[in-house]
Structure 1
Amino acid sequence: MDVEILSRIQFAFTIAFHYIYPPLSIGLGVMLVLMQAFWLKTRNPLYHNMARYWTRVFGLTFAIGVATGIVMEFEFGTNWATYSRFVGSVFGGPLAIEGIYAFFLESGFLAILLFGWDKVGPKTHFFATCMVALGAHFSAIWIIVANSWMQTPAGFHLVREVGKNPDGSPIEVPLDPGYILKQEDLDHVRAVVDSFWEMVLNPSTLDRITHTVIGCWLAGAFLVVSISAFYLLKQRHLQFAKTSLKFGLAVGCFASLLQLVSADSTARGVGDNQPIKLAAIEGLADTTTEAPLGIVGWVSWDKDADGNIIGIKENSFKIKGLLSILMDGDFLHPVEASKTVVQGLNDLPSDEFILARHPGATPEEIKLIRPEYWPNVPVVFQTYHLMIALGMGLIGISVLGCILWKTGHLWRTDIKWVRWFLIVLVLSVLMPQIANQAGWFTAEMGRQPWIVYEILKTSEGLSKAVIAGQVLSSLIMFAFIYVLLFMVFIYTLTKKIQHGPKDDESINILPEKWRPMALKGGRQTAPTTNDQPND
């Protein structure tokens, strides 16, 4: 394999592994805020025990997430130096904000969250928990801002370096809007921000932030659901398990239904801004009204006798007109909405787009060139529909779980079908993780062959010094280390689950009304029985 494929595989592997943990941290952060809020409101020690237990799980996911995320920072310089130079002015702001204001906010209060239970008052600890959760969300937001700019670039212009000033700084001149990059430009042309807020609020930012963050909430909620259901099946820590399961199902049900609304908005944005991606994920070959929505099936390449891709062949179950209705968004008038035209791959990209990059191409040559600007349609069709299927499954599981909770059947572990449902809940922790990964692969592979959409190709963003052997050897090394890290994570998490919560943990809480004075005065004796909070 060449250096481009290996570099893409390496980055996909490292980011996919890293992406297991931040969603858990973000989702668990929300759960911790809710649990501590209930503790402050009711002073019921059960909520305090829950918060302490899930904080320990949060600390584990945060630690592994930080360790696995560092690698990607280096890959930008080692494998993607040309790309990093091109986007440096654009990415500098969001990534600096993410590091200084988001990550430091999260990590700055992390010590209080993890170790401050008996050192600070409940309100101070709750504030630290909120700041950690907020910092985790801010980190995600600014990373998504940077990535969304790659999908839908805005608020920038291109400049060319034409010389050096006496002090060594570059002399740069702006290029005309719509300038098409050439291979010889890569060492001298870069993107420069015109408007910071136009760059931040590019056409896909808000949809992608919403969609990604809700996916993180689902990951955290269903981790809580999974472990709580396990305790119910084992008849251990029953009160803890029942209450934690209620929290997880409530957040999971809310987030999964909200994700349905977000998915609709996100898909419509893809249709407006990246029509090739929309046609690919739906396996739509021809431009048409009453465009069908694929439910399940497969797509394969259609090739000529010489092996050139000339189109796609799809075999799927579809609902006629539903894609046109979804793209129009007028659900109250479906007949009129079904007349909306949805472009197919056979007309994307346009002839004008191709001729601007391949001057003088004949109609026959345009047909052969066009598939070069398509993503890997058979793959993104499957990853997208896998994400949708899992999302609908999460809605069904969480809604059914809430119904069983309200009717009291969820706690009847003596009933066989309830035990089977609890087993489903235990396994449900995998569903948001797989859905998040499938969605991420759909988004990233769906914009290929572009690393910056319709401006810079992925093949043009590679480092010139790195060779395939170096990338392969480092990929093998990363795979070995990441497997070890994953084994450590699973082993440590399993130990925490087996150990379970400490049911008497809240007995050691010092009353807030006198704790700060005691600590200031150096008094750190154990509380008396009269100081213990009431149940």
Structure 2
Amino acid sequence: MEFDALLLSRIQFAFTIAFHIIFPAFTIGLASWLAALEFNWLRTGNPLYRTLFRFWVKVFAVSFGLGVVSGIVMSYQFGTNWSRFSEFTGNVLGPIIAYEVITAFFLEAAFLGIMLFGWERVGDRLHFFATCMVALGTLLSAFWILSANSWMQTPDGFAIENGKAVPVDWFKAVFNPSFPLRYAHMVLGCYLTTAFAVAGMSAWMLLRHPHDAPETKLAASRRSLSMALWFATIFVPVQILIGDLHGLGVLKYQPTKLAAIEGNWDRMANMPLRLFAIPDEVAETNHYEVGIPKVGSWVLTHAFDGVVPGLKEVPRDERPPVWPVFFSFRIMVGIGFAMLGIGLWSLYLRLKGTLFTNKPFLTAAMIMTPSGFGAVLFGWFTAEIGRQPYVVYGHLRTADAVSPVSAQAVGATLIIFIVVYAFVFGFGSYYLAKLLRRGPDPVEDIRGDDLGKKPKRPFSVPDEGLEGRPGHRAQPAE
């Protein structure tokens, strides 16, 4: 293997995007989680939700900052390492990325300060509106980024003039064939990433010092664990369904990628569902294959005799690397079914009334804390490596997209990135770990079984500890 400028540029971009995607995958879901917490606080007046909001907003602020930093570094590589890609796609992807900045980044920037620092300076409803706008901004950001990436997977709405892609139908370019399902799959993946991170942290709090911690602090952990697991129980099956529908699109628009995902070398009907195999790209076969007869065709085509394309139908230089695509997809699916198992287990424990006391379950939930991040990463590995050897599927090969730079220059910047990232993200991760280790602050003005039982006026807040707050209005004692 020759470490030329192409390979080193690919390694550098993979390194930076792998770091970057972790943070948006968390903050997209976390912003909506914060909006849900604040809505419940305004609706019920229960200080428990306010306490959870104040804790998770600190985690959001750090994660958002790290995401912005890593995203800026990543975007510069389009000019430094992939100038030919930028030249070919600039007329299409340039405006789409600009829309992301104008609609999403500006929206987040306008309201982020109010959400983080305006709690005591603006009214309750305005603060809630700011939180919702930040959550909307994260969804809009994902919309445009997924549109651009999906266009690279299934390009549409353009023509090639003088060797460059030129838009001819913006609606088709933005809402390209794979975009709707990829966007839904990614956003729900981000939500599930946050759900399992919240559930895992909450489970850890319940396992750690369950007897000497303040009762109200444990109540906050119980409430967040319950909310996160309800979301996971309901939406993991939905995510599996969306993934199945997305697979039908891959079969239609990217059959070679699908063949690599399944390790399928020959076009065949009645294809088995390969649970495990060792693909051999030289011999064009699989070793130690374990599968379920005919089920593969049914999963991929919804017919037991459905025909699935094979890798041998295209030349070797048109195939993606089979090993990483084959195994990363199975890891992603395995994580998804582990999430489904946690959701069903939690439902069973709810019925028994032992959700917060079953130590094996709490331990399993804690272990699943990073599962969402893993699923997102391996899903992206599947999508991006499976697109090879093209950077714009069917139109621009990756080898033709790299900048005319030396391997030494790319190698030097890669080393610098590794060192700087280790320093910056090491400290960022350390601070996040400290926040998560501390957990939510105790809720001083509520106790034990009284949580949430005191009736409150809709969209009002409790009086405790709010004297002197702008807009505060005393309420008569009950």
Alpha-carbon contact 1:246-1:405 (below 8 Å) kept: no
Question: Corresponding residue for 2:66?
Answer: 64
Aligned to 1:214, what secondary structure does the other structure show?
A: helix
Distance in structure 2 (CA, Å) of the matches to 1:422 and 1:488: 28
Larger mean CA deviation between 80-89 and 32-41 belongs to 32-41
Distance in structure 2 (CA, Å) of the matches to 1:405 and 1:229: 15
Question: Corresponding residue for 1:273?
Answer: 253
Aligned to 2:269, what secondary structure does the other structure show?
A: coil
Question: Corresponding residue for 2:452?
Answer: none
The aligned amino acid for 2:229 is: L
Question: Corresponding residue for 1:152?
Answer: 154
Q: Deviations over 1:434-484 (max 9, x none)?
A: 1110110110000100011111100000111x1101111111111111112
Determine whether 1:531 maps to 2:474: yes
Distance in structure 1 (CA, Å) of the matches to 2:287 and 2:89: 37
- 1:503 Cα shift? 2.7
Question: Corresponding residue for 2:398?
Answer: 458
Question: Corresponding residue for 1:222?
Answer: 196
Q: Which of these residues, 362, 366, 378, is aligned with residue 323 of structure 2?
A: 378
The aligned amino acid for 1:479 is: I
Q: Deviations over 1:274-329 (max 9, x none)?
A: 000000010011111111221233322234xxxxxxx2334322122222222333
- 1:406 Cα shift? 3.9
Q: Which of these residues, 308, 317, 323, is aligned with residue 342 of structure 1?
A: 308
Q: Deviations over 1:370-390 (max 9, x none)?
A: 111110001110001110001
Alpha-carbon contact 2:122-2:470 (below 8 Å) kept: no
The aligned amino acid for 1:301 is: E
Kindly report which structure 2 residues correspond to 1:27-176, keeping only aligned pairs within 5 A, or say none.
Answer: 27-160=29-162
Alpha-carbon contact 2:45-2:460 (below 8 Å) kept: no
Question: Corresponding residue for 1:315?
Answer: 288
- 1:202 Cα shift? 0.9
**Change in 2 beyond 3 A, CA 1:7/1:497:** same
Question: Corresponding residue for 1:10?
Answer: 12
Question: Corresponding residue for 2:300?
Answer: 327
The aligned amino acid for 1:82 is: R
Aligned to 1:8, what secondary structure does the other structure show?
A: helix
Determine whether 1:250 maps to 2:230: yes
Q: Deviations over 1:216-256 (max 9, x none)?
A: 00111111111111110112321000001011111222231
Aligned to 1:531, what secondary structure does the other structure show?
A: coil
Alpha-carbon contact 1:300-1:314 (below 8 Å) kept: yes
- 1:421 Cα shift? 2.0
Aligned to 1:402, what secondary structure does the other structure show?
A: helix
Aligned to 1:226, what secondary structure does the other structure show?
A: helix
Distance in structure 2 (CA, Å) of the matches to 1:250 and 1:504: 23
Alpha-carbon contact 2:43-2:460 (below 8 Å) kept: no
TM-score (normalised: structure 2): 0.91
- 1:405 Cα shift? 3.0
**Change in 2 beyond 3 A, CA 1:301/1:87:** same
**Change in 2 beyond 3 A, CA 1:462/1:525:** same
- 1:528 Cα shift? 12
Q: Deviations over 1:390-415 (max 9, x none)?
A: 11101111221233134211222xxx
Aligned to 2:394, what secondary structure does the other structure show?
A: coil
Q: Deviations over 1:421-443 (max 9, x none)?
A: 21221121111111110110110
Q: Deviations over 1:27-69 (max 9, x none)?
A: 1112112111211211111111111111111111101100111
The aligned amino acid for 1:83 is: F
Distance in structure 1 (CA, Å) of the matches to 2:170 and 2:472: 58
Kindly report which structure 2 residues correspond to 1:169-318, keeping only aligned pairs within 5 A, or say none.
Answer: 189-234=163-208, 235=210, 236=213, 237-303=217-283, 311-318=284-291
Alpha-carbon contact 1:49-1:506 (below 8 Å) kept: no
Question: Corresponding residue for 1:407?
Answer: 352
Distance in structure 1 (CA, Å) of the matches to 2:445 and 2:193: 27
Q: Deviations over 1:97-142 (max 9, x none)?
A: 1001011112211111111111122211111111111100110110
The aligned amino acid for 2:164 is: R
5+ residue gaps, structure 1: 161-188, 304-310, 330-336, 350-369, 413-417, 515-523
TM-score (normalised: structure 1): 0.81
Determine whether 1:478 maps to 2:417: yes
- 1:534 Cα shift? 8.1
Distance in structure 2 (CA, Å) of the matches to 1:512 and 1:439: 40
Alpha-carbon contact 2:277-2:286 (below 8 Å) kept: no
Distance in structure 2 (CA, Å) of the matches to 1:84 and 1:420: 51
5+ residue gaps, structure 2: 447-457, 462-466
The aligned amino acid for 1:339 is: D
Greater Cα radius of gyration, structure 1 or 2 = 1
Distance in structure 2 (CA, Å) of the matches to 1:102 and 1:3: 34
The aligned amino acid for 1:471 is: V
4+ runs of 1 displaced by more than 4 Å?
A: 504-507, 511-514, 526-530, 532-535
Distance in structure 2 (CA, Å) of the matches to 1:58 and 1:378: 36
Q: Which of these residues, 390, 397, 401, is aligned with residue 335 of structure 2?
A: 390
Alpha-carbon contact 2:45-2:459 (below 8 Å) kept: no
Distance in structure 2 (CA, Å) of the matches to 1:241 and 1:499: 12
The aligned amino acid for 1:323 is: G
**Count of matched residue positions in the alignment of Structure 1 and Structure 2:** 456
Distance in structure 1 (CA, Å) of the matches to 2:27 and 2:34: 10
- 1:420 Cα shift? 2.5
Alpha-carbon contact 2:270-2:307 (below 8 Å) kept: yes
Aligned to 2:282, what secondary structure does the other structure show?
A: strand
Aligned to 2:281, what secondary structure does the other structure show?
A: strand
**Change in 2 beyond 3 A, CA 1:532/1:218:** farther
**Change in 2 beyond 3 A, CA 1:341/1:38:** same
Task: Give the aligned CA root-mean-square deviation in angstroms.
Answer: 2.4
Using CA pairs under 8 Å that are at least 6 residues apart, name the structure with larger relative contact order, 1 or 2: 2
- 1:499 Cα shift? 2.9
